[in-house]
Copies of this chain bind each other. A is one copy, B any other.
Amino acid sequence: MTAESLIISVDAMGGDHAPESIIDGLAVSLRSVDDRVRFLVHGDEARVKPLVEAHSKLVGRVEIRHTDKTVAMDAKPSQAVRGGKGSSMWNMLAAVKAGEANLAVSAGNTGALMAMSKLVLRMVQGVNRPAIAALWPTPEGKCVVLDVGANIEADSSQLVEFAIMGEAYARAIHGMERPSVGLLNIGSEDLKGNDQVRMAAELLKNETLDLNYIGFVEGNDISMGASDVVVTDGFTGNVALKTAEGTARLVSGFVKDALSSSIASKMGALLAMSGLRALKHKMDPRSVNGGVFLGLNGVVLKSHGGTDAQGFATTIQLAAMVGRSTFTEDVAASLVRLTNANSESSTESGAA
């Protein structure tokens, strides 16, 4: 593998339908990623090799690293970390740590992956907590929402870290110069919300951070694309993300019912087929499949555990985009601003 390659380290054994959906997903991804993207695949060679060989185009772009050990989808994070050394998930991360790969992708157990990522890759200096960022469909594209589950709680300074990292991520994937940043709250008035959110709002106004901070956003603003980045704690973000998924599924069901309620409506649906197909694609959760772990020394992408090949290919596509961007440098530069802002505010408060 040459220096100009982008090497993606893949956990072949993570996910409900692994390794089949993972290897098939790599094959599907070849349609959309450039031909310098290569894969370092960790897992049971006896199962993985025949799957790779079934796709002639994959051969030559995949290097298999054998291991017998896998992390169970229902393992507790602490168990996974203790007994996980040498597993496909661990080795996937170790390859990034060792510089053999540019970034890592897994559809495995989220809690285990986060715990192991922290241990193997360590956190970026200046970051106290990593976050998981999701892409969220809006009328104009997609916004970045974080944290969606890495941390159950977040204090104000952690929310500011999330803002910094999320903004850098939005720049990386959307190529935007100054993505707008909103703080999720239950009202747009300054008085509303809990202490963490109100304090974070004050911190985000600090000019040294140089963020395009637009203030509070509410739940209904996310889907409207009111800001390019939406910052919240992992509990609220996870509930919001899953609520949106559930609502989209409910509404899709209602649409289906409406279009099959009579012969006339069925005929109408046939006529409207091309438009409805575009709709289906927009609503397909697989088209936004891929949470990114932010704040680690190395980029880790998490595909949905229940993903099929199409969904995993989407995550690989996202990984290629992030890997080709200046994301890591951007985050590092942004964190310097955070450090400056922090030292400034401690000077102001007389704590020097």
Interface residues of A (CB under 8 A from B): 74, 76, 137-139, 149, 152-153, 184, 186, 189, 191, 193-194, 218-224, 232, 234-236, 238-255, 257-262, 264-276, 278-279, 282-283
Residues on the B chain within 8 Å of A241, using CB: 219
Shortest distance from the beta carbon of A285 to any chain B beta carbon, whole Å: 10
- Which residues of chain B come closer than 8 Å to A283, judged between CB atoms? 251, 254
- Identify 28 residue pairs between A and B in the complex whose beta-carbon atoms are under 8 Å apart, listed by A's number: A137-B250, A152-B186, A152-B194, A153-B194, A194-B235, A219-B245, A220-B242, A220-B246, A220-B249, A222-B243, A222-B246, A223-B246, A224-B246, A224-B250, A240-B240, A240-B243, A243-B244, A244-B244, A248-B251, A255-B279, A259-B272, A259-B275, A261-B274, A261-B275, A265-B271, A268-B269, A268-B275, A269-B272
Main secondary structure on A side of the interface with B: helix
CB of A228, distance to nearest CB on chain B (Å): 16
- In addition to A222-B243, A257-B279, 4 A-B residue pairs with Cβ atoms within 8 Å of each other are A186-B234, A224-B246, A257-B278, A268-B272
Closest Cβ of chain B to A154, distance in Å, is 11
Residue of B nearest to A149 (CB): B186
List of B residues within 8 angstroms of A232 by Cβ: 239
In Å, the complex CA distance between A313 and B137 comes to: 33
Q: Do B138 and A238 touch across chains, with their CB atoms under 8 A apart? A: no
Closest-CB distance, A259 to chain B (whole angstroms): 5
Given contacts A234-B186, A278-B261, whether A223 and B250 have CB atoms under 8 Å apart is yes
- For A274, the chain B residues whose CB sits under 8 A away are 261-262, 264-265
Closest CB in chain B relative to A282 CB, distance in Å: 5
Residues B239 and A219 in contact, CB atoms below 8 Å apart: yes
In the complex, the answer to whether B219 meets A186 with C-beta atoms within 8 Å is no
Q: Which of A219, A264, A278 has the most CB of B within 10 A?
A: A219
Question: With the chains together, A246 CA to B259 CA distance in Å?
Answer: 23
In the complex, which residue of chain B has the Cβ closest to the Cβ of A78? B191
A275 contacts which chain B residues (CB < 8 A)?
257-262, 265, 268
**What chain B residues lie within 8 Å of A152 (beta carbons)?**
186, 193-194
Chain B residue contacts of A239, Cβ below 8 A: 184, 186, 218-219, 232, 236, 239-240
The 7 lowest CB-CB distance pairs between A and B, nearest first, are A219-B242, A268-B272, A268-B271, A220-B246, A219-B243, A258-B275, A223-B246
Complex interface: chain B residues within 8 A of A191 (CB): 76
B193→A138 contact, CB < 8 A: no
Residues of B within 8 A of A246 (CB): 219-224, 244
Give the shortest distance, in Å, between A325 (CB) and chain B (any CB): 27
Chain B nearest Cβ from A34, distance in angstroms: 30
Report A196 CB to chain B, min CB distance, Å.
Answer: 10
**Which listed residue, B186, B221, B264, B270, touches A238 by the CB 8 Å rule?**
B186
Q: Which B residues are CB-close (under 8 A) to A254?
A: 279, 282-283
Partner of A223, one of B221, B234, B249, B271: B249
A251: which B residues are within 8 A, CB to CB?
247-248, 251-252, 255, 283
The answer to whether B223 touches A243, judged by C-beta atoms less than 8 angstroms apart, is yes
Residue of B whose beta carbon sits closest to that of A238: B186
A264 — which chain B residues lie within 8 A by C-beta?
271-274
